[in-house]
Amino acid sequence: MTPAPPLAGRSGKILARFPTFMRAPTPGKVLAALATALGTDLDEAERLAMRIQQAHRLQAAQEERDLLGLAAACDLRPADFFILDSLQAKDYFAGQLPGLAAGVPPRSNQQRCQQAYDLFVGRLRGNVRRAIDVLLEGCGTIWSLLEGTAILLDADRLGRTGQPDPTARIVEHLDDGLPRGGFVHRMAIGYHVWQPTPAPGAPGSRQGWVYLVENPLNDHSTNDSPRHQRETFRVHRGGFFDGQVAVQITGTGGRTVRPMVINETDHEGFFFGDVVGDGKKLVLTTDGKVLLDGIDVTAKAAFFTGALDAMGTPRDSRMAPSDQPVAPAAAAAPDGVVDVVTPAGALDRAFPRPAVVPVPSLPPLDLRLGESTWRFSVEEGAYDLSGYDETVYAFPDDEAARMALPPSGSVQLMWKENEPFAVSVLIPADSQTLESGGLVQDLPALVRSGLERYRAAGIRLDVSYFDQAWVLGHSVLKSLDAPPGPGVSFDATVPTASSPP
């Protein structure tokens, strides 16, 4: 008689204790049924105990809920891994499974789903570990914000070879060593983009960078305010550095004749030797060009520095001594500063007007850090038929009487300054395919919300898309009310980027 095959697990061990002559494992015997029932319960209890033990270890947990439960011990939430959950819901990881070797039968649906789930759990496990590492090391640093952004995007860190490397910790400081640098940083990542039919390959199907810009440049301006003849006004520049400023003058009622804007603090100014028509806009740009409603009129403009008389004119202009009374407060120039007009002779008031050789561009005006005093003036007291359209009467000396007259033009100053206690994070623009694919809505806002745990207290944080094809300069921080999407403004080309790894 052929002996019955031994039973597996604890059922077999129980039956093995009986004498052989009893043939306890024989199917149909009550003894075998009892041992099978008892052993099966013991095996299931052991299996459950093992799964409980695995669920309490990050490296051994096999279920999403177990990993999220462990993450919750460090105050991490499912929202910290929102992209992974969306990718799993869209069956993304099934498309990332490696191909089968030749001759291997295709996967069944159950195998395919299980392997895709295991890939998802593996990604989740890695991101939970990365997030905990950042929290244990400390938040509020450049590294924590860059790594936190990569975790929220489920992006791999790339090594120097351009391949995913979980041990890589490479942060490039693009403008380090520049006079006003040290603000722009980046980290190479491999990140997801959404395709209707994902191609097999690494989970990060694109490679690029995530950028962090400290104290980003922000647009600032004074109000576009009507100004009267010889009216002074104060301008405050914040940030960290002095810088250049653009000036816009809007013509008013034919009264904006040969306008002049003077920085009384730095003893320099800008002059336009013609009439700015009503509603027309004259702009001195930061690159030294002068535009009238977009048309280059630099040849009619001048820049001057040095001591100024009461009319706002450099003291070397060709005027009779009685025509240029010097006001001590306005004329006191810093030591070593000489009167310079570019182009030479452009501010001479004598009639007929002298021939002036124009220059292609003017020196830009500077705006000093802190408070500075500025003045707006137009032509006055000019009488000569050779300049009939520029013949104007003198204004009253009394300030109250001048302010009672209609304005002579509108003046606005525009500049960029570093915004303190602010950070701008830039993510690749083609990550927007995750939005168009229906995986997420408003990805920058979700990343911004997730970075809240990595942000230092008191630091304003903004997240925007960044096109890898752009040349990175100092970014201009977008308004929090601005709609999402590409469109971050840039000024200069300081941190020129190489091609993606």
Which tens digit of pLDDT belongs to each residue from 84-142? 988 888 888 887 787 777 777 888 888 888 888 989 999 999 999 999 999 999 999 99
Residue 477 has pLDDT above 90, yes or no: no
pTM, to two decimals: 0.72
Encoding tokens for residue 454?
């990595």
Confidence of residue 234 (pLDDT cuts 50, 70, 90): very high
What residues are paired with 295 via a beta bridge?
292
Q: Could you give the C-alpha distances from 430 to 18, 201, 221, 483, in angstroms and in order?
A: 69, 18, 33, 17
Which tens digit of pLDDT belongs to each residue from 74-92? 899 999 999 998 888 888 8
pLDDT at 97: 81
Encoding tokens for residue 26?
């024989």
**Of 36-45, 202-211, 378-387, the least confident:** 378-387
pLDDT > 70: percent of the chain: 79
pLDDT at 338: 45
Residue 184 has pLDDT above 70, yes or no: yes
**Of 287-301, 344-358, 451-465, the least confident:** 344-358
Confidence of residue 472 (pLDDT cuts 50, 70, 90): very low
**Of 285-289, 362-366, 379-383, the least confident:** 379-383
Number of H helices and number of E strands within the chain?
Answer: 10, 22
pLDDT at 347: 76
Confidence of residue 411 (pLDDT cuts 50, 70, 90): very high
Encoding tokens for residue 320?
């009779």
Domain residue ranges in the chain? 9-55, 109-216+419-491, 221-416
Residue 251 has pLDDT above 90, yes or no: yes
Residue 165 has pLDDT above 80, yes or no: yes
- The set of residues, in sequence order, having a beta carbon less than 8 Å from that of 91 and lying 6+ positions away, is 116
d(CA 172, CA 191): 18
**Of 15-19, 86-90, 229-233, 400-404, the least confident:** 15-19
- The set of residues, in sequence order, having a beta carbon less than 8 Å from that of 332 and lying 6+ positions away, is 307
Encoding tokens for residue 113?
């789903």
More confident residue, 205 or 384: 205
Q: Could you give the C-alpha distances from 278 to 301, 389, 414, in angstroms and in order?
A: 19, 14, 21
Confidence of residue 218 (pLDDT cuts 50, 70, 90): confident
More confident residue, 219 or 5: 219
Q: How many CA atoms lie within 13 A of 194 on its CB side?
A: 21
User: Taking Cα atoms as reference points, which of 203, 163, 168, 144 lies closest to residue 459?
Assistant: 144
Compute the average pLDDT of residues 315-331: 37
Confidence of residue 35 (pLDDT cuts 50, 70, 90): confident
Pair 269, 304: CB distance under 8 Å: yes
User: Taking Cα atoms as reference points, which of 338, 282, 286, 279 lies closest to residue 308?
Assistant: 338
d(CA 103, CA 100): 8
